[in-house]
Structure 1
Amino acid sequence: MVCDNVGLKEVVQVILLLGQTVGALIFTSVADKYGRKPVLVACNFLLGATGFGVAYAPNIYVMIAFRFLCGFFQQGATLVAVTLRMEFLTSKNRRVVIVLSGLFWTLTTVLFGLMAYFMRDQSWRMLQTAAALFTCNFILSALFLYESPRWLSANKKYAQTLEIIRKACQINKKDYQKVKAVYELHVIQPQEAKDLVVERNSILDIVRHRALFMTSVILCFIWMTNSLTYYGLFLTSSSLAGNRHLNFILIGLSGLPSDMLNMVLLAFFGRKPVIMGWLLTAGTGLLAATMFMAFGSSEASVILSVIFSCVGKLGIGASFSNMFMYTPELFPTNVRSAGLGVCAGVSRLGSMLSPYSQTLAEVALWGPGLIFSVMCFLSAILFTKLPETRGQPMPNTISDMKQRVASNYGNRNVDVLDYEAEILKPK
């Protein structure tokens, strides 16, 4: 499609990432204002529609326009889904679900590599069409997903929250009246007694405070490191020795051990040491791979560079997956989706540079790995300034978030969604 305009090949990928940046900032803020479910369902449907548009674009310029829209709606679907998922979980269950989410991501990556391999003799349009078909799950989302009870409570929609709690109690065979009484005591009555108005926060409320602003800046840099390194490794996988389809699948499979290890590590250690450890693993693996590529000339050096690249991918994939759990745990309810959106949006700056990592690798094969490893080491150092969130309730207000950042330990009050477990556990 590009013929002599080879530079447009990278532009297609950059435009997709630009759409992701805009979508991350817009749809997450809309979800904080109007609710998680409607934004999620609408974005998922529109993602499928624009995916088909890419598949049947008549020329490169139409394709670029549809790629922008794909990125735009993809971030609305993905980030709002992350927020909704996290807000349905208690602190004890977030670890399990985020690991399962990482596992599904890994398996989907491998599936996509296999699809590309078996469809290698077909037009790329057929592969794009097959990928777009997966968005048909928007039908299930519309029928079976509930709105976030945390968002409903924060916006004083108590009746709708209680209806979701009633259904949950019915499914799990719990005493609805007991749970309702606790919810009224700890949520409704305090808000009504103080005559609290619904907080209409924006991300600007966070950056006005120095401690929260610095926390957001650190998070954004770590997200950008994860994004640049993760996608850069995928896009430079064709530069590795051997078959490009096999390398892509192996890079994807390298995330599988990290998913399993996360399940164990997060059960015994806090979020900070685990994520910092994975960043250091990524930096070390990529630095070793870079050294073998730069100074090795034997076949063994080539093989070792591939192995250590997979180690780097393992570390950065595990870190990236955990950031989707850690970041929402820091932001308060009415800016949680927007806060995640800002971090994801800024991370796309790294993603926009990732297509050019392959170009850099053609000039200096060791270049991308050196940049990735330095950023990973720096991110691990910066992470020491962030608070631990393990076993802590998600903050409901800006004040809760400020308190957590200031103390670097957080509020140890019982989480709203943990009340049921507290009153029903054996004495």
Structure 2
Amino acid sequence: MVDFDGALVYLGAFGKYQKLIYCLTCVLTLPVSMHMLAMTFLDAKVAFHCNVPEIRHAEPGTENYSSKCPFDVINETALGYFNGTNTSSCNHGYWYDTSQYHSSIFTEFDLVCGSSELNQFAQSMFMVGVLIGAVGSGQLSDIVGRKKTFFLGILMQLIFGVAVAFSPNYTLFVVFRAFVGASASAVFLPCFVIGTELVAPSMRTWAGTVGEIFFAIGYMLLALIAYFIRDWRTLQLVISVPNAVFLFAYPLIIESPRWLLSKGRDEEVAAIMRRAAKVNGVTLPDEVFTTKKVDNEKPKDERIYTVIDLVRTPNMAKKSLLIFFNWLVISLVYYGLSLNTSNLGGDDYLNFFISGVVEIPAYISSVYIADWFGRPKTHAAYMIIGAVGCIICPFLTAPYLPEGLNALSITLAMIGKFGLTAGFNIIYLFTAELYPTMVRNVGVGASSMFARVGGIISPYVELSKSVWGPLPYIIFGALSFLAALAALLLPETLGAELPVTLEDGENFGK
């Protein structure tokens, strides 16, 4: 069989060819982050009041939107402002302030008052789709390959993304969005795997970070697109239709050489190696094409490992619980901060754009600093930065401080986002190093599932603001601080000989 790892010695750990292929693959994932975070604009909440037929022909621009439930309707001659003592339901529907957002599912499907919790439900069901897609696409990519799964995800994202834009009612909107969530996993995860399997082990962390940087670029592009497109259906179409063009990139993307080798398709791997050598300007020696399997190679462990193996022994169970808690918290707070930038005051689009910008230095700095100071301390430090930013930012807005200090509140929120984003990047690396080789894929997969659970819960944290305005951010900050403390209980992996067997995993860090 051919020796792909041996070829990487000549091709480079992350050579020109690998970079070109991987960056092109990452470009095709740009709509993923847009769909993941689109609810900020699809579900934009605006001021509203009851539709009173008697004043339907009020002079435009004179409406006063109260956004309170139930509605006071004693003074029906006022221009939409109800300040009496009697209350009534809105039998004639609602009027919405469309000065900023021309339409959203909030306004089109009347997700107000008794239906307000449906806003959170839609995003939670999307994350359920992401969870199901992560499990399904992981299995599928091992069966049919990373490339086919990747493009199947793009096709699904196109079909169901367009279907969302034409949803006639709220129910179908939620269903179609859940399928988009599943497709997002089917696109992003195989891309991540292709990237990490194209490079040498020493560059896998950086390859993964490149994928996350493209996620942030999609994040920023969404802010720009949404600024110019204020109608939710048009916005949904614009972020979905590019997938039709992306499908034509199928011949340009290669299958993972490591997956091909696992299926005995050596000739295809050899062809990829020759193409890479030509692009990289190197010559591969004949031995990398003719390496034979050693006869006395130890037989592979055929046992199938499960999540139970992650918690079967005391030390492994302790480490797993600490890891799972960190993944859940990071995802919960990350999406909580990302999807609630409109609550910070100031310009919604600028806030959202800056929230994407801060991710890039967070990803890059986290790799360097984790290699300098170690995994637990660095991860905990970033999480504490996130906690402080979350806890302080809501107290720098009205009514606690004058509105002129909104910029300071936004800055603190972005510092919090910076810390959580860096923590997200480190936890990937940390988790892969903590689990022994035998259960590494199972461990990372189980951890990712807890992240999806955090994403499902996240929208409902926003409801706590009805109790006290700053409470969602207090919850985010408190959980981030607890996650930091939990990380400090985990063993250091920097420079350590990583565990291979389950016994190694149990003894590691004891």
Aligned match of 2:238 in 111, 130, 151? Answer: 130
Structure 1 residues 218 and 48: alpha-carbon distance in aligned structure 2, compared to 1, 3 A threshold: farther
Deviations 1:286-315 (A, max 9, x none): 222245459933346544322211110111
> Match for residue 421 of structure 2?
317
Residues 208 and 161 of structure 1, relative CA distance in 2, 3 Å threshold: farther
Deviation at 1:9, TM superposition (A): 2.4
C-alpha deviation, 1:267, in angstroms: 5.2
- Give the letter aligned to residue 165 of structure 2: A
2:321 corresponds to which of 206, 214, 217: 217
Cα distance in 2 for partners of 1:382, 1:359 equals: 27
Moved more, 326-335 or 264-273: 326-335
Higher helix share: 1
Q: CA–CA distance in 2 between the matches of 1:333 and 1:70? A: 33
Distance 1:341 1:37, change over 3 A: farther
What is the aligned residue count? Answer: 398
1:193 is paired with a residue of what secondary structure?
A: coil
Change (3 A) 1:394 1:22: farther
Kindly indicate whether structure 1 or structure 2 has the higher relative contact order, using CA contacts under 8 Å at least 6 residues apart.
1
Whether 1:110 aligns to 2:205 is no
Q: Distance in 1 between matches of 2:200 and 2:186?
A: 24
* TM-score (structure 2 length as normaliser): 0.68
1:53 match: 163
Distance 1:153 1:143, change over 3 A: same
CA distance in 2, matches of 1:306, 1:382: 28
Question: How big is the shift at 1:156?
Answer: 6.6
Q: Does 1:277 align with 2:391?
A: no
Change (3 A) 1:157 1:221: farther
- SS of the aligned residue for 1:297 comes to coil
Which of 355, 360, 381 does residue 464 from structure 2 map onto? 360
Matched, 1:259 2:363: yes
Q: How does 1:149-164 map to 2 (within 5 A)?
A: 149=258, 151=259, 164=272
Q: CA deviation at 1:339?
A: 3.8
Alpha-carbon distance in structure 2 between the residues aligned to 1:201 and 1:74? 27
The alpha-carbon deviation at position 126 of structure 1 amounts to 1.1
Secondary structure of the structure 1 residue equivalent to 2:148: helix
Which of 282, 286, 294 is matched with 1:189 structurally?
294
Q: CA deviation at 1:388?
A: 4.5
Task: Classify the secondary structure of the residue corresponding to 1:354.
Answer: helix
Task: Decide whether the 8 Å contact of 1:206 with 1:213 is kept in 2.
Answer: yes
Aligned to 1:424: none
Whether the 8 Å CA contact 1:36–1:147 is kept in 2: the answer is yes
Does the alignment pair 1:406 with 2:507? yes
Q: Which runs of 5+ in 2 are unaligned?
A: 1-107
- Classify the secondary structure of the residue corresponding to 1:92: helix
Report 1:26-37 matches (<5 A). 26-37=136-147
Tell me the residue number matched to 2:64.
none
Aligned CA distance change for structure 1 residues 61 and 218 (closer, same or farther; 3 Å): same
1:12 maps to which of 122, 126, 143: 122
Aligned to 2:486: 382
Normalised to the residue count of structure 1, the TM-score between the two structures is 0.80
SS at match of 2:241: helix
Measured in 2, the distance between the counterparts of 1:370 and 1:236 equals 14
Cα pair distance change 1:333/1:80, threshold 3 Å: farther
List runs of 5+ in structure 1 lacking aligned partners. Answer: 410-427
- The alpha-carbon distance between structure 1 residues 22 and 383, as it changes in their structure 2 partners (threshold 3 A), is same
- 2: distance between equivalents of 1:404 and 1:152? 29
For the aligned residues, what is the CA RMSD? 3.3
